[in-house]
Amino acid sequence: MKRLNGQSFLLIVLVAFSLFLTSCGPSSTGESQTSGGGTSGNKVAFVYKEKAADYNASHLHELGRQYVAAQLPDVETSFVEEVTVEQAEQKLRDLATAGNKLIFAADPEFSDAVLKVAPDFPDTFFEVAQGSETATNVATYDGRMYQMFYVAGGYTGELTTSGIVGIIAPEPTVEVIRNINAIALSTLLVRTNENVSIHVKWTGSWNDPEAERQAALDLIDEGADVLVQHVYSPEVQKVAEEKGVAAFGYGFDMREFAPTQNMTSIVWNWGWYYLQRVNAMLDGSWKGEAYLGEAALVNFGEGIIDLAPYTYDQIPQIIEAPPMKWRSRFVETDRDVFEGPFNAQNGEEVLKRRVAFDDEYIYNQMNWFVEGVVGDAPGEPPPPAS
C-alpha cells in the first residue's frame, strides 16, 4: 500500500482546537459550508451517518473537514449529517448534481449507495471510509489502527505499577478485539515474565458516559492504574483526572478533559488524509484506489493514525525507544503486529515465531482474546500451532 506525504504537527493542534468549534455548525438543512470560492472544480462534500456535534465517528470526520477548510480556504466544503443508509443514495446524487467534485462518504454502510451512484457521475470522485470496493471514480480509505494501539502498549506497559491496565470498550466486535489484542501484546512484551494483565469492561455503546464512568471506576477498584478508552465520550478521562490514574484517550486529542492525567490519545487523523486527497483532486492526480494507512515513523500529524501530542512529563523519554522501533518495523519492513510467537487467552500458542495472520483473518475473524486479557470475547481462537 503506498504512503501519502505527511503534514506537520499543526494537524493535531488544529484538531484539538476545533473540538468545540461552532462557527461551522450545521444549518437547518443539515449542511454546513465554509468560506471560499466554491466553483464546480473545488467543491467538496462530506456525508455523515450521525450528528457530527456529538461524540461519535462522524465527529472525528467533521474535525477532519474543518482542518481541510482551514488549510484550503479557496475550497468550499459542506456536510450532510444524520443520513441513513436508505437516504444515502439520494443525498449522494444531490451533492453530485450540486457540483461537488469530491464526495467523502464517511461510513462503510454507505458503500453500496456510492457504488450505485458513482457510474452516473463519472466526473465526480467518491471516497468511502472503511469501504470495501473501489472503481474508476471510487476510492476507499482506512488505517491499521491496531498498529497504533500496539505502539501505545509500549507506554501502558511501562507506566503501570500495579500490573493492571484497564480498557473501557463499547462492544466485542472484530475491530475492537483486534485493537485490544494489539495493546495487550505490546504491554506484556515490555513487561515480559511479570504479572501484568489487561482488564476489559464492555459498555455496550460507543458513547454512554454513565456506563463509561462506571466501567472506569470498576477497573480502578480492581487495581488498574492505567486506563485506555476505546469509546468516544471523554468521560473516562474525567474519571482518571478525578482519581489520579494515567489515561489514554481515543479518537481525538482528549487532553483538555484530563490535563494532568491524560498521557496521550490514540487518534484518527482524518484531516491529514482529506487534505492529501483534496489536493490530489485539485492537481489532477486523484485515483480510485484503496488506502490502508500504517503507523508513521514520526509522531504528531504524519499519518492517518497517530498518537496525540504529549510531553515528557506525561510519557518519559526513556520509555520511547521500543514504540519508535515498532514504528520503524511497520514502515520499513513487511512485519506487522500479529506475528508469532504468542498465545491465546487460554494459554495455547496459536502462532509460531515469524508466522503471521493475514489481513483477511485480522479484519474478519479475530474475535477472541490473546493471553493476558481478562474479559469475555465471543469467539474461539484457532487450533494450537503445530
Q: Are 3 and 298 in contact (CB under 8 A)?
A: no
Residue with cell 472525528: 60
pTM of the model: 0.90
Per-residue pLDDT, 193: 77
Whether residue 15 has pLDDT greater than 70 = no
pLDDT, tens digit, 9 for 90 and up, residues 24-62: 433 333 554 443 455 557 999 999 999 999 999 999 999
Per-residue pLDDT, 39: 57
- Which residues, in sequence order, are CB contacts of 20 under 8 Å at separation 6+? none
Q: How many CB atoms sit inside 10 A of residue 284's CB? A: 6
Continuous H helices in the chain: 10-17, 57-71, 85-97, 111-117, 145-159, 174-189, 209-221, 235-243, 270-283, 321-332, 359-364
How confident is residue 18, by pLDDT bands cut at 50, 70 and 90?
very low
Per-residue pLDDT, 38: 52
Whether residue 181 has pLDDT greater than 90 = yes
Report the share of the chain in percent with pLDDT over 90: 84
Q: Are 101 and 44 in contact (CB under 8 A)?
A: yes
The CATH code for residues 145-267+305-374 is: 3.40.50.2300
The CATH code for residues 10-143+270-293 is: 3.40.50.2300
The residue among 176, 154, 174, 175 whose CA lies nearest residue 165 is 154
Average pLDDT on 332-346 reads: 94
Of residues 121 and 297, the one with the higher pLDDT is 121
Whether residue 373 has pLDDT greater than 60 = yes
What cell numbers appear for 80 in the block? 450532510
Per-residue pLDDT, 31: 53
Helix (H) or strand (E) holding 44, with range, is: strand 43-47
State residue 37 phi and psi, 5-degree precision.
Answer: -90, 80
Whether residue 241 has pLDDT greater than 50 = yes
Q: Are 315 and 154 in contact (CB under 8 A)?
A: no
Per-residue pLDDT, 24: 40
Q: Are 135 and 288 in contact (CB under 8 A)?
A: yes
Residue 127 — left, alpha, or beta (φ > 0 → left; ψ -120 to 50 → alpha)? Answer: beta
| Helix (H/G/I), strand (E/B), else coil: 204 | coil
CA-derived radius of gyration, the chain: 21
Q: Do domains 10-143+270-293 and 145-267+305-374 have the same CATH topology?
A: yes
Per-residue pLDDT, 298: 81
pLDDT, tens digit, 9 for 90 and up, residues 375-384: 999 999 999 9
The residue among 143, 370, 155 whose CA lies nearest residue 247 is 155
pLDDT, tens digit, 9 for 90 and up, residues 65-92: 999 999 999 999 999 999 999 999 999 9
Mean of per-residue pLDDT scores for the chain: 90
CA pair distance 266, 255, nearest whole angstrom: 11
CA pair distance 335, 220, nearest whole angstrom: 35
Whether residue 110 has pLDDT greater than 50 = yes
Average pLDDT on 202-222 reads: 98
What are the structural domain ranges in the chain? 10-143+270-293, 145-267+305-374
Whether residue 142 has pLDDT greater than 90 = yes
Give the lowest-confidence range in 25-29, 50-54, 178-182, 206-210: 25-29
